[in-house]
Structure 1
């Protein structure tokens, strides 16, 4: 009976303890849930009933706890051991109270949002909590207030993984490593000859064939008077515009074919406007000029928009042919050169934005050709200063071109860039000398100094902006030295052409050795050949001894130009000797021997012809004296 009486009391005590543990667990989980919510972590499977207990609930829990403690004090020690064993057994089984599970749902590990460079690794297994909170009786024995004590869960370490986080540094290191193309990728990057012929060459051949076919058809129709002249021009313009519209519509799917259609449309528009002006006189000159300029601008815009170099070349050709095709036989220097200057600026701006160097060279050649053709046909002395002004404008445009393309953009200088720099400088100075020599010879020395100072400034700017481009820097400085040296013989009325070629050869040799550029060194050999040929063909003949002239051996204009040429060859030999580490032994021995042989040969030839002219002068003087004496007798 005693056991029956103890059974309800024991159950009540166990129920109180379980309620107490449940309240502690619920409070702890609720606090953890609030913490995770504030940290922004994802928390899954949280019962909706988890919340912090109110004040009344806490008071009720405390009263029940005290009642349980009083009951436990009167319980025998052996009963306490049995209760502990029974409590342990029951706590491991799920027990429902008020329609819900006593066992709290397992907490899922929070998932950290994906971050760049983060590689998720498998989560380590978490061991279950084995410690159990102390009983209220144990708290009372220890003299402490009951608190929930949880042991830290034991987290097993995850096995080491071979994956490493991808950091920006490692990603940059991977980007710096050379990428190897697979065979099929290499074939896509470099189309073979067959694809170029079928995809590009035949396309342009077809466009040209269609254009010529249209021209012959229209000519046949015109010859048979099928179409009036006005409608002929309208049909040509309509066909050209149709080509451009079709090219625009096909641009997305067939870019190569659309470029061909655009080029054909531009060509047909040029042809239609020219025929309307020149053949039928239906379009006035000013209107035709404006229309052709508009077609050129359209070609430039299409080339810039679609990165189509062939269209840009077609626009360049059409732009320079426009003044020739629309010429009426009347000179208009300001209008012609103003148009060419604007055309050069537009073409060079397009080449600068698209990195098309070929447009620079073609624009330079076309400008020189147009200027030379005008000089031959229309130049008169009264147009001197207008001509010098436009020459200076063109010279500045192409001189600064190397600065914009090579210095500011930091592109490596090629041999063709140097060729254009040298050609621009020499053509400008030579033509200016020829124009100013007759009536303004006294300012030519100052003019050479000004050109030298201009190239000195370019060299200084290139040195401060891009010191790695030593080839261009030495070229600018070499030209500055060349014109500074030429200022002296020009001002002293010496024959400077041979001297100029000789000094340029020495400067190119020095530039080629300092910068390690073989093209400049081989170019210097060609320049020396031109200087030697000019000395034999011009200086030897023009400055030889003539009757009724005083001839001084080694102090005449022929000897001075030859001395400069010999000195330039000797200086080149010295450059090869001092900078022999910058060139191969074979080239050094060959060029040094050739220059040394040329210098000695020229010196011997000069001494021979000067001695011959001196004795010829003495012979003439002796003959004249004998003649005077015979007449006197």
Structure 2
């Protein structure tokens, strides 16, 4: 015990001396002279400790734990780099506290085993020791925020461990009183983080508050646990309002997600009770994040992550827990909330990032509500219609064709779902069925969206980067070609006749687009037509020449060849007319 006290006193004296040296260097902007020679700076450049006249010379590359951390944060360092800088800062203190914590645990265990003090004295000793360490940390915060924060966290941990031991081994505390005591110690740490605006201490207090239910025994009671977490979330919002450290909201959301996982992944009782708390948390996060985005003119990355994460978390809970008969109605209500939030935020702030996040959550909820009500062909058609409407709404609200085109890429979802309609058995003996209308509607929608965006870009003289609208036109036409192919094969019992008619129509379409592109000098049309004609000729020479009967080959080759030859003369005539006009 005497050795432990001596170690603590020595550590305090050492840290006090070190902080005095650091403050002196910060005030004067000087490097303390180690010797009268040059020493190497952080970048390998020499730093003069003493000038020629014996005067101290400011050190432009002054380093140190605290300064290194500050520079890393200011220069936008990654999380790993900031954590490394945090470890480097006062690493002796962190190591010493860790060893003291381990030694304290062994000391208490040894005292318990040898009955040095009674049960009540053991608990009182731990509580008093933890309180004294926290008081020491509060006093130390006035001179060194980082060191004081470590002592505060250390003291709060000691109190939590002591209360947990008293509850488990001696029954001195009930579950709720234990949680209250632990929470008060953590609240003291959070208060210090507000007073000295310490992000590390704020995050530390949030972590300690998350560990308190595990030590107190309220984890198995849903009402007690999530009521406590509600208090923690509200307290976190208060800390954020005082300090502006919005990353704490994200951290509190992660804590809620982790605590709710056992109920989300199980099918036991009381999931509906937890769901009510999830609704309440979602409302709180939505309101606070919306207000933060509207108020904050700077960086809102943490708010965006929290908004998107809370929305998807809520959607997951609704899908996993809510009864199937109510899912679509509840999801639709929340979808309206997020869609309205996206519209209001964009109209007030004109910022596109929060609109993306809120609208994205709304779209995900719309898709989930649709899937809850429909399936099969009806689901594919509904998804196709929703994608088209969403893309057009984005164009109308944002007046941004690029983003509207990117939104239309959601058409990939109904495309994937339509594979089942392409290979359906109904194509063997009939044409008009649900699969026919799926392919027809999907093809027309993609073709219409592509042509709309292409015309809009042409009218606004923004014809660069046409990959998406061109891809929509090509994908839509491919679906229509596929529909024609399947329909002809279902209509004709003779496959050669179906192939002949299909290739004839493909050739006519290819010739029309190729000639139109050449005459109007539109490269996209001419390339499209050329590729389609190349496909027809390649199919004839590589596939049909071996599979068709002789009579079918003769007729097909004569028809396709005649069309190509006739078009060659038309192309020359048109070209001559164009040249004469010029």
TM-score class normalised by the smaller sequence: 0.5 to 0.7
Give the Cα–Cα distance (whole angstroms) in 1 for the partners of residues 211 and 487 of structure 2.
52
Higher radius of gyration, 1 or 2: 1
What is the match of residue 168 of structure 1?
none
Once the two structures are superposed, the pairs formed by residues 381-392 of structure 1 within 5 Å of their partners are 384=272, 386-392=273-279
What is the match of residue 358 of structure 1?
247
What is the match of residue 270 of structure 1?
160
* Residue 286 of structure 2 corresponds to residue 399 of structure 1: yes
Q: How far 1:208 moved relative to its partner?
A: 2.6
Q: Deviations over 1:243-275 (max 9, x none)?
A: 111122222222221111112112212222222
Once the two structures are superposed, the pairs formed by residues 430-509 of structure 1 within 5 Å of their partners are 430-438=316-324, 441=325, 443-464=326-347, 466-477=348-359, 479-480=361-362, 483=365, 490-492=372-374
What is the match of residue 163 of structure 1?
none
Give the Cα–Cα distance (whole angstroms) in 1 for the partners of residues 151 and 212 of structure 2.
21
Q: How far 1:487 moved relative to its partner?
A: 5.1
Once the two structures are superposed, the pairs formed by residues 220-235 of structure 1 within 5 Å of their partners are 220-235=110-125
Give the Cα–Cα distance (whole angstroms) in 2 for the partners of residues 255 and 246 of structure 1.
12
What is the match of residue 173 of structure 1?
none
8 A Cα contact 1:482 1:504, kept in partner: no
Of 307, 314, 336 in structure 2, the residue corresponding to residue 421 of structure 1 is 307
Q: Name whichever of 500-509 and 315-324 sits farther off.
A: 500-509
Give the Cα–Cα distance (whole angstroms) in 2 for the partners of residues 211 and 569 of structure 1.
68
Structure 1 unmatched runs, 5+: 1-181, 614-633
Give the Cα–Cα distance (whole angstroms) in 2 for the partners of residues 595 and 280 of structure 1.
71
Q: Report the CA distance shift for 1:492/1:364 in structure 2 as closer, same or farther (over 3 A).
A: same
Once the two structures are superposed, the pairs formed by residues 326-337 of structure 1 within 5 Å of their partners are 326-327=216-217, 330=220, 332-337=221-226
Q: How far 1:611 moved relative to its partner?
A: 12
8 A Cα contact 2:226 2:277, kept in partner: yes
Give the Cα–Cα distance (whole angstroms) in 1 for the partners of residues 261 and 443 of structure 2.
29
8 A Cα contact 2:141 2:148, kept in partner: yes
Give the Cα–Cα distance (whole angstroms) in 2 for the partners of residues 336 and 452 of structure 1.
28
* Residue 185 of structure 2 corresponds to residue 295 of structure 1: yes
Q: Deviations over 1:359-404 (max 9, x none)?
A: 1111111111212223345743x763x4443221111112223212
What's the secondary structure of 2:166's corresponding residue? helix
**If each structure's helix is expressed as a fraction of its own residues, which one has the higher value?**
2
What is the match of residue 521 of structure 2?
none
Q: Deviations over 1:295-338 (max 9, x none)?
A: 232222121112122222222122222223333685x3322222
What's the secondary structure of 1:275's corresponding residue? helix
8 A Cα contact 1:506 1:524, kept in partner: no
Give the Cα–Cα distance (whole angstroms) in 1 for the partners of residues 271 and 367 of structure 2.
30
What is the match of residue 138 of structure 2?
248
Give the Cα–Cα distance (whole angstroms) in 1 for the partners of residues 459 and 166 of structure 2.
66
8 A Cα contact 2:133 2:151, kept in partner: yes
* Residue 99 of structure 2 corresponds to residue 217 of structure 1: no
Give the Cα–Cα distance (whole angstroms) in 2 for the partners of residues 598 and 397 of structure 1.
43
Once the two structures are superposed, the pairs formed by residues 283-322 of structure 1 within 5 Å of their partners are 283-322=173-212
What's the secondary structure of 2:142's corresponding residue? coil
What is the match of residue 47 of structure 1?
none
8 A Cα contact 1:554 1:610, kept in partner: no
Give the Cα–Cα distance (whole angstroms) in 2 for the partners of residues 236 and 461 of structure 1.
53
8 A Cα contact 2:127 2:159, kept in partner: yes
What's the secondary structure of 1:266's corresponding residue? helix
What is the match of residue 20 of structure 1?
none
Q: Deviations over 1:600-623 (max 9, x none)?
A: 99999999999999xxxxxxxxxx
What is the match of residue 96 of structure 2?
206
8 A Cα contact 2:388 2:408, kept in partner: yes
Give the Cα–Cα distance (whole angstroms) in 2 for the partners of residues 431 and 561 of structure 1.
34
8 A Cα contact 2:346 2:354, kept in partner: no
Once the two structures are superposed, the pairs formed by residues 600-619 of structure 1 within 5 Å of their partners are none
8 A Cα contact 2:190 2:201, kept in partner: yes
Q: TM-score when scaled to structure 1?
A: 0.51
Give the Cα–Cα distance (whole angstroms) in 1 for the partners of residues 161 and 469 of structure 2.
56
Give the Cα–Cα distance (whole angstroms) in 1 for the partners of residues 112 and 118 of structure 2.
8
Q: How far 1:567 moved relative to its partner?
A: 6.2
Give the Cα–Cα distance (whole angstroms) in 1 for the partners of residues 306 and 181 of structure 2.
32
What's the secondary structure of 2:228's corresponding residue? helix
Give the Cα–Cα distance (whole angstroms) in 2 for the partners of residues 225 and 509 of structure 1.
77
What's the secondary structure of 1:356's corresponding residue? coil
Q: TM-score when scaled to structure 2?
A: 0.55
8 A Cα contact 1:448 1:484, kept in partner: yes
Give the Cα–Cα distance (whole angstroms) in 2 for the partners of residues 565 and 327 of structure 1.
59
8 A Cα contact 2:328 2:370, kept in partner: yes
Give the Cα–Cα distance (whole angstroms) in 1 for the partners of residues 354 and 360 of structure 2.
10
Give the Cα–Cα distance (whole angstroms) in 1 for the partners of residues 317 and 362 of structure 2.
18
8 A Cα contact 1:573 1:592, kept in partner: yes
Q: How far 1:569 moved relative to its partner?
A: 11
Give the Cα–Cα distance (whole angstroms) in 2 for the partners of residues 409 and 374 of structure 1.
35
Question: How many residue pairs are counted as aligned between the two chains?
Answer: 415
Once the two structures are superposed, the pairs formed by residues 136-155 of structure 1 within 5 Å of their partners are none
Give the Cα–Cα distance (whole angstroms) in 1 for the partners of residues 336 and 195 of structure 2.
40
What is the match of residue 60 of structure 2?
184
What's the secondary structure of 1:184's corresponding residue? coil
Q: Report the CA distance shift for 1:333/1:306 in structure 2 as closer, same or farther (over 3 A).
A: same
What's the secondary structure of 2:297's corresponding residue? coil
What is the match of residue 53 of structure 2?
none
Of 238, 247, 264 in structure 2, the residue corresponding to residue 349 of structure 1 is 238
8 A Cα contact 1:482 1:500, kept in partner: no
Structure 2 unmatched runs, 5+: 1-57, 73-80, 491-582
